[in-house]
Amino acid sequence: METLDNTGTHKTDKVSILERAALRRVLAMLGNPPIEIVLWSGEVIGTDHGTPVARLWIHQRRNFLRLLYRPDLYFGEAYTSGEIDVEGDFVKLLEYVDPLEQASARRRLWERFKLKFPQLASHTLARARDNIHHHYDISNAFYQLWLDPELVYTCAYFPTPTTNLEEAQQAKMDYVCRKLRLKSGETVVEAGCGWGALTRYMAKHYGVKVRAYNISHEQIVYARERAKKEGLSKLVEFIEEDFRSITGRYGAFVSVGMLEHVGKAHYVELGAVIDRCLSSSGRGLLHSIGRDRPMPLNAWIERHIFPGAYPPALAEMLEVLEPGRFTVQDVENLRLHYVRTLEHWLARYEGASEVVRQMFDETFVRSWRFYLVSSIAGFQSGSLQLFQITFNRADVNELPWTRRYLYENRQPRAPL
Amino acid sequence: METLDNTGTHKTDKVSILERAALRRVLAMLGNPPIEIVLWSGEVIGTDHGTPVARLWIHQRRNFLRLLYRPDLYFGEAYTSGEIDVEGDFVKLLEYVDPLEQASARRRLWERFKLKFPQLASHTLARARDNIHHHYDISNAFYQLWLDPELVYTCAYFPTPTTNLEEAQQAKMDYVCRKLRLKSGETVVEAGCGWGALTRYMAKHYGVKVRAYNISHEQIVYARERAKKEGLSKLVEFIEEDFRSITGRYGAFVSVGMLEHVGKAHYVELGAVIDRCLSSSGRGLLHSIGRDRPMPLNAWIERHIFPGAYPPALAEMLEVLEPGRFTVQDVENLRLHYVRTLEHWLARYEGASEVVRQMFDETFVRSWRFYLVSSIAGFQSGSLQLFQITFNRADVNELPWTRRYLYENRQPRAPL
């Protein structure tokens, strides 16, 4: 409640000694980063370290202390609601705040408990559908505004830093096919196929038959239509089911950007599915956002963007593969490629923000901006990783002699 | 005790129904592999599956049942003592026996217990010295008989399958330097440097200053002498100490073939050493024999060749890196390169077996033959892996954009 004191100014305008001290302490903990903070009273808490890279406006005292104490959750909420604003380098600002987020993540007992006992936070099939629906069924038109024309919503692979997004997504799909050593006529199963870009790519460029699973209704409808238009209906089949429903046996298993949504409690199940469906000479590829050690997902992202998601540490990803005695052949960390991918997405998103505002509202615009910006900061600071794991059965000796073949011809393959 | 029955033949010559049944059951468990077994009585237990790839002679009944029950330990012992012999493809024979070894490894409760509670089998400094002394201090002259001229006693890297051993060891060392992105003038610390081949290579070809640690006295003496002869004394320093004694800060940390001897209980300690000695922009490389899942080391190898050794699963190797928040950049499995390396070693070893017999005795010759052959079989069957992990600190963004640079110029670098 705002009240007027006898000087006529708002009581809430004053910054208390406690508030100022708390802020200064937090800034000191972060090593006094070059950030300028403009408080609701107009008071500026500056930096002693040269020109600030960003200015943070805190428009109101409400939620100020919880912003300091739980930035992992409340920074995003305050930005989305307009209680705070950022001028200057938003990514850099979030990178500076990152240690604070990590510290508060470690404080969250319930989160750490869930890490130890993942079955308590396990995704039933119904929960999995809800979680996926929340994010991926927003509207295809929305994603078309800022993804590449093939609608690839996972980390791209940039053969050179100046490759554009379309080419980088093509290059990523080709890279995945090379890592899988796909041979024309083979069968492939894809778990979590998004809008079907990789499915179509594998069929079109490598002549394989693909069965692709996804529980997002909107995506499956789109994927089917597009495959039909491109004359690929005989080679690809889209199934609106969870990975647990996969049947049949295949020469290759691929999953790009699904593991983040599976939940640790189900890694063994996923491993059993791969074991069941992979032929004796089969190869597999798992591509997932990850961590350099186990840590809960950022609380704001979990609540507002990806309910139920969890980016695993590399050792946790291996829990999928160890029980089935799969052999890891290759692991590549593409973290900086995700920074680049997200920068492209953000630029396109900002270019289309007026349309997004009309489709949804200002809160939505800010919320998705924060999600993209904080993801860039996460990959940039090394708080998030992108692991691509290639594996096969233990006794497969038909392997490329070195990884050199992956780099011999930089051009993605022409359609067959 | 042998006794004569009234027909005048040795009682022990007879193969009992029980013994025959046990053998047939074991062969059935292995899928009736194309192996022929000649028993002490002269009786041949054949294969129904075409020409046998190998013939196993079991010269005496003594130890027959324990050979079947604990082949992981007694096969090597029986071969070394001459109780059994192998004609034909020894490697293939051991590959066929591998599932049996794995099954008996899983049965060994104490081994599984040690996997769960590694601190109980922990290596004190004194124990570590004993273990290393047992293997590496046999005699430099012995290793010179069958290793390459640089005395590299770890998996080589064969750019093509026909590369010879000398070139492949050079290529391996160069590959390691490229993965570490060494820059002239930098400092490097090497944990477990063997006879100093990589140490010298890094100094000579990349102009870095190297401090190398090793607890094998024979190796250190050899390494120092050789570095002196080659005029590298100003760039390299060999220290006869355990990795725990590493001091100073370095641009790169490298360890090739040491982790197998560290013991799981000390992974966290090793991680702390890396954390302490690696500069903020430092890169690291861990190269180790591994597994596709946690499993005790073969009992015979542990008892006779590498006391205290343990090849970790990839997830276990990550226990070194997770606590210090190191980011895994790249993992490569070079399993088949170890098969090739060992094949070269075995051929040279066989060529020098007369000399080895004179240096030691027939038991030693057979023991080391069994070690080399069974290692080939282990890597060939996928029971053993070779992981090369490249890592750096979490916030390092000065990274090569792709891995393509590793393959751009296949020639190892010329000396500076």
Residues 249-308 of A with CB under 8 A from B: 292-294
Here the ipTM equals: 0.92
Instruction: State the pLDDT at residue B128.
Output: 74
Question: CB of A211 within 8 Å of any CB in chain B?
Answer: no
Question: CB of B328 within 8 Å of any CB in chain A?
Answer: yes
Residue of B322, B115, B33 lying closest to A322 (CA atoms): B115
User: Could you tell me the two tokens for A111?
Assistant: 């989160």
Q: Which residues of chain A make contact with B322, given a CB cutoff of 8 A?
A: 292-294, 313, 315
User: Could you tell me the two tokens for A228?
Assistant: 């039909």
pLDDT in tens, A101-154: 777 766 666 666 777 776 666 667 777 777 777 777 778 999 999 999 999 999
Residue A9 vs residues A14, A153, A248, B405: alpha-carbon distances, Å? 9, 50, 73, 64
Residue of B167, B216, B189, B154 lying closest to B379 (CA atoms): B154
Angle between helices B217-229 and B197-206 (to 10 degrees): 30
* Pairwise CA distance, residues A414 & A403, whole Å: 21
**Burial tier of A134 (Cβ tally within 10 Å: 0-12, 13-18, 19+):** middle
One-letter amino acid at B75 equals F
Query: DSSP E strands: which ranges in A159-249?
Result: 187-191, 209-213, 236-239
Q: Which residue of B has its CA nearest to A160?
A: B401
Q: Which residues of chain B make contact with A315, given a CB cutoff of 8 A?
A: 314-315, 318-319, 322
* Pairwise CA distance, residues A153 & A341, whole Å: 10
Residue of A317, A332, A338 lying closest to A381 (CA atoms): A338
Q: Which residues of chain A make contact with B94, given a CB cutoff of 8 A?
A: none
Sorting pLDDT into bands at 50, 70 and 90, what band is A6? very low
Q: Is the pLDDT score of A5 beyond 50?
A: no
Asked whether the beta carbons of residue B293 and residue A333 sit closer than 8 angstroms, the reply is no
Instruction: State the pLDDT at residue B374.
Output: 95
**Which phi-psi region, left, alpha or beta, contains residue A31 (left: φ > 0; alpha: ψ -120 to 50)?**
left
Residue ranges of domains in chain A: 11-107, 119-407
Q: Which residues of chain A make contact with B313, given a CB cutoff of 8 A?
A: 318, 322
**Which phi-psi region, left, alpha or beta, contains residue A248 (left: φ > 0; alpha: ψ -120 to 50)?**
left
Q: Which residues of chain A make contact with B381, given a CB cutoff of 8 A?
A: 394-395
Cβ atoms of B247 and B221 within 8 Å: the answer is no
Helices (H), A182-242: 197-206, 217-229
Which stretch of A98-102, A247-251, B18-22 has the lowest confidence by average pLDDT?
Answer: A98-102
Question: CB of A354 within 8 Å of any CB in chain B?
Answer: no
One-letter amino acid at B372 equals L
Instruction: State the pLDDT at residue A123.
Output: 66
Q: What sign does the dihedral A404-A408-A414-A416 (CA atoms) show?
A: negative
pLDDT in tens, A324-347: 999 999 999 999 999 999 999 999
**Angle ∠(B136,B139,B140) on CA atoms, nearest 5:** 90
Q: Which residue of B has its CA nearest to A331?
A: B331
Q: How far is B411 from chain A (nearest CA, A)?
A: 13
Cβ atoms of A58 and A38 within 8 Å: the answer is yes
Selected residue with higher pLDDT from A97 and A214: A214
Question: CB of A30 within 8 Å of any CB in chain B?
Answer: no
Instruction: State the pLDDT at residue A411.
Output: 77
Q: Is the pLDDT score of A1 beyond 50?
A: no
Cβ atoms of A386 and A287 within 8 Å: the answer is yes
Question: CB of A17 within 8 Å of any CB in chain B?
Answer: no
Q: Is the pLDDT score of A170 beyond 50?
A: yes
Instruction: State the pLDDT at residue A108.
Output: 67
pLDDT in tens, A382-413: 999 999 999 999 889 999 999 999 999 767 88
Asked whether the beta carbons of residue A336 and residue B397 sit closer than 8 angstroms, the reply is yes
Q: Which contiguous run of DSSP H or E holds residue B251?
A: strand B250-256
Quickly count: other Cβ atoms within 10 Å of residue A103's Cβ.
13
Nearest to A313 among B314, B322, B381 (CB): B322
Cβ atoms of A175 and A157 within 8 Å: the answer is yes
In chain A, the percentage of residues whose pLDDT exceeds 70 is: 93
Q: What DSSP string runs through B23-41?
A: HHHHHHHTT--SEEEE-TT
Residue of A278, A337, A276, A286 lying closest to A312 (CA atoms): A286
Topology of the domain covering A119-407: Rossmann fold (3.40.50)
pTM of the model: 0.93
**Burial tier of A229 (Cβ tally within 10 Å: 0-12, 13-18, 19+):** exposed
Q: Which residues contact A284 (CB under 8 A, 6 or more apart)?
A: A180, A252, A253, A254, A274, A278, A326, A390, A391, A392
Residues 86-145 of A with CB under 8 A from B: none
Cβ atoms of A27 and A42 within 8 Å: the answer is no
In chain A, the percentage of residues whose pLDDT exceeds 90 is: 74
Q: Which residues of chain B have pLDDT under 50?
A: 1-9
Sorting pLDDT into bands at 50, 70 and 90, what band is A207? very high
Q: How far is B71 from chain A (nearest CA, A)?
A: 20
CB contacts < 8 A, A to B, total 119
Instruction: State the pLDDT at residue B106.
Output: 65
Q: Which CATH number is associated with domain B11-107?
A: 3.30.1050.10
pLDDT in tens, A13-23: 789 999 999 99
* Pairwise CA distance, residues A317 & A287, whole Å: 10
Question: CB of B398 within 8 Å of any CB in chain A?
Answer: no
Q: How far is B233 from chain A (nearest CA, A)?
A: 35
Instruction: State the pLDDT at residue A97.
Output: 86
Q: Which residue of A has its CA nearest to B313?
A: A322
Question: CB of B336 within 8 Å of any CB in chain A?
Answer: yes
Q: Which residue of B has its CA nearest to A329?
A: B333
Residue B313 DSSP class:
B
Instruction: State the pLDDT at residue B349.
Output: 98
Tell me the pairing of strands A250-256 and A278-290. Answer: parallel
